Amino acid sequence: MNDSHFIGFDRKIELDWLDRVAAKAAAGSTRPEVQAWLYDELLAHLGAKADPHGARGKTATVLMRIWFPQDARALARRDAALAELPAATPEERVALHWAMAMVAYPFFGEVVRQIGRLTALQGETTAREVTRRVAEQFGDRSTLPRAVNRVIQSVANWGVVRIGDRKLTRAMPVELSDGVGVVLVDALTGRTNVDDAVKRDPAGFPFSWTAGR
């Protein structure tokens, strides 16, 4: 399968980890420095297993791909996000992580798009419904339900969805500054103009913003 069908985001990623990695990027730390620091930091959370393909290594890989991308276009988007980071509220930081996760992982983008679409239609949804919709794009793989659940667990940890009685519902939308909104729109569409059609993209469901505020 081509890169558009790459899953990759298959770990629960906690908001505190994203905040700290983003702060390292903003401070100018190098990729090797952050990778070594992160691997040690995750020791307390994920255990002492040294296997780089185990939980610690896989989690570090997801975090690094989000905030330390290696291709030029993703780096440009990352730098735009970092420019907004110092003035961002905690809620706006979530939007920046969301944007960079979508850039790094189209799979993440498809999962949250389906959550947004289904909750708009029904008010709530389930992991099973989301997985069924995502399978239309990524194939009905044995690894898909687990990976979808990891995205759901992550965004619940970030405070943008609630999980109760196996149902997913939305939290209240967060109002974004124009600058953070532009970063998110670029991640959603590859465009930087904030128009109504873009703002209705269901993948941006946790956020709202007004251009030119």
User: For the chain, what is the domain count?
Assistant: 1
Q: Does the pLDDT of residue 148 top 70, yes or no?
A: yes
Nearest-CA neighbor of 160 among 184, 137, 182, 189?
184
Highest mean pLDDT among 35-39, 70-74, 152-156, 184-188: 152-156
CA angle 172–174–180, rounded 5-degree value: 160
Find the CATH number of the domain harbouring 83: 1.10.3540.10
pLDDT confidence of 199, banded at 50, 70, 90?
low
Residue 163 has pLDDT above 80, yes or no: yes
User: Model's pTM, two decimal places?
Assistant: 0.91
The percent of residues above 90 in pLDDT, for the chain, comes to: 69
Q: Do 19 and 45 form a contact (C-beta atoms < 8 A)?
A: no
Taken in order 22, 23, 28, 33, the sign of the CA dihedral is negative
Measure the CA–CA gap between 37 and 52, rounded to whole angstroms: 14
Domain range enclosing 144 = 1-213
